[in-house]
Structure 1
């Protein structure tokens, strides 16, 4: 379960288990440490590239139960969330989601998060497992500060962490067909970024259309007592269990960040090319934690920017230096892989402003050799989100 520790060798980190740990072992998973949890890297003899391609062409099932699921509630919850993030929530539709970032006082990213407004006072928040302690401590501190400033007035905010709640992701073009067989809810009514409560084989689950792969799919939050049974039920037909290896290559092809690699507390949303999570009124008025830095960067431009790269000859891994054609150090790779879908080497990283324009040529130092790289827009692989009936994904 989410809180349960796993015995480990002396001197090694004690890892937590999701509610599907025994399920993974039963299905031949290779378990590895990740974000404080023992998580599946791969299953049986299925390699990372094969698993990756299966998600792109059919459907994969991921355990993401290590993520922290919470409810933030209260009459002033929208205003509170607009204080700790730069996004807009007061006008967000019910059961609509917003990718956002939690900022520190200097405008750095404490964590990236998906926040879904269930009703006028209830928000479902998903944050990263690797930031669990930092996030929950920040929420606690800021909620106490917020409520104290309200004094005796109505409107206090509270947080409920959904301990041990299951969370799985069903991703790929065949995902809707698989899930539709298990629920009476018409999934054609559920567009990307929307969510609902619906029964899956008689169990009420929270179903959000979206994910971390760039494909159509769903993230399904399951009551702890039913996590294994529902997951077993989802594992049917073309569905293939998929681990962290394929998850990483899929998200990088989709141009999505991994916290602790592509994002950290010293990087702002402007530097991270996440300006789009900040609506225009908030760019003008601020009013959120870290606004001074963010608004200044919006005005003057940041000193560095997140970019995508196509790298010649050999894959550039995290930490590889990026230099100009004149050998001037200009940045660092934060994620890099050989792309299974494109058959070329892709990477994400940060470069000095001025070197960030798409199409620019730079050099990346890989294995003591300098490789040519070209700055390219992300996502590297076009996303295939379901936008609604009769609406094509761009």
Structure 2
């Protein structure tokens, strides 16, 4: 759907917007921003280049927040944040980060986020569409304990792929020694940055927070390397789908608990079994009941028997010709690395076992699909 001119004019620009245009990026509205969906190489080549070499992504639309403890003790900020998430934040060592979720009183997910311990404060990266609500949520519940600072003057870029370390090592001496989920302040190309060894592609890589005024210079410096290609939203989506990673608002939302979403691994034992720090987060009763007794539905991976992609919204059935739908696809498309369709969705837990045969409705026909393990493509994180 084309936007009216007034709507186009209301879109926000990241600090790299002019660079995207100069590189021939095809710009589209996304989470209130004018963002590149692809460049002239196209989504397929961008996807495969990231898997084989290194891709550069602009993720400056994401929210960046600092949580500074009023006591001066980072553990106090961590304990305060544990009132809003089911993860063990206290256990995040300085220089490390962890995946977490804000939950609501019903156990649903308000947003998913990354939380890093920078030694004297916590650094949070939240989703673009939720960042204003997340900041308000933090201020409403944690202002007595923490100073909440939205870091508006920063950009965020991601360098992803098997050659990401070699590329970044030329500009950041600390990069080769970093392990998956290490995070902290580092100098990159002479610029003060926050660097984490993480990403949203399933590949090894880094996310780099840099002052907005320096973002274009840093991006151009990295793009000068022939191994690095600019990557748009299209390939970012297909890469994360192959990696089995959730997209907020699609695969997880306010109606979905972490257990239903197959994110049990993200909730540490200290927050769910016994002990003084178990529970105490929004929706704990329902979420912990799902841990103890199971949930009625579950997020699954799907592989199609044919070549037709099974897209978001496709209904899932237990039978090829009869019966009511038992579930729905939440993300789906063609997996370039696999040269085959892949999808994720929700079905009753009784129908979620690996190898279970189901049927997806595509253009009025029920196509055979099979519950498959995720990630669809093996991740290459440096552990």
TM-score by length of structure 1 reads 0.91
* Structure-to-structure mapping, 1:301-340, within 5 angstroms: 301-313=294-306, 314-325=308-319, 327-340=323-336
| Cα distance change of structure 1 residues 160 and 50 upon mapping to structure 2, 3 Å threshold | same
Alignment RMSD = 1.4
Q: Secondary structure of 1:16's match? A: coil
Q: Secondary structure of 1:170's match? A: strand
State the distance in 2 between where 1:140 and 1:92 align.
22
State the distance in 2 between where 1:244 and 1:370 align.
30
Which contiguous aligned blocks of 4+ residues in structure 1 show a shift greater than 6 angstroms? none
Gaps (5+ residues) in structure 2?
none
Q: Which of 291, 296, 302 does residue 289 from structure 2 map onto?
A: 296
The offset of 1:382, in angstroms, is 0.2
The reply on whether 1:159 has 2:173 as its aligned counterpart is no
1:170 aligned partner: 159
1:231 aligned partner: 219
Equivalent residue pairs, number: 368
CA contact (8 A) 1:19 1:164 kept: no
State the distance in 2 between where 1:59 and 1:12 align.
31
- State the Cα deviation string for residues 180-216 of structure 1 (Å, max 9, x = none): 111233x231000102322222111111101000111
State the distance in 1 between where 2:57 and 2:35 align.
10
The offset of 1:79, in angstroms, is 0.7
2:192 aligned partner: 204
- State the Cα deviation string for residues 311-350 of structure 1 (Å, max 9, x = none): 1221111110001026342100000011101111100000
1:151 aligned partner: none
The offset of 1:13, in angstroms, is 7.4
Q: Secondary structure of 1:354's match? A: helix
| Cα distance change of structure 1 residues 192 and 204 upon mapping to structure 2, 3 Å threshold | same
CA contact (8 A) 1:8 1:14 kept: no
The offset of 1:12, in angstroms, is 5.8
- State the Cα deviation string for residues 139-161 of structure 1 (Å, max 9, x = none): 121124xx2xxxxxxxx211111
1:91 aligned partner: 91
TM-score by length of structure 2 reads 0.93
CA contact (8 A) 2:180 2:381 kept: yes
Gaps (5+ residues) in structure 1?
1-6, 148-155, 388-394
State the distance in 2 between where 1:112 and 1:21 align.
25
CA contact (8 A) 2:361 2:367 kept: yes
State the distance in 1 between where 2:283 and 2:79 align.
16
The offset of 1:281, in angstroms, is 2.0
CA contact (8 A) 2:15 2:213 kept: no
2:366 aligned partner: 370
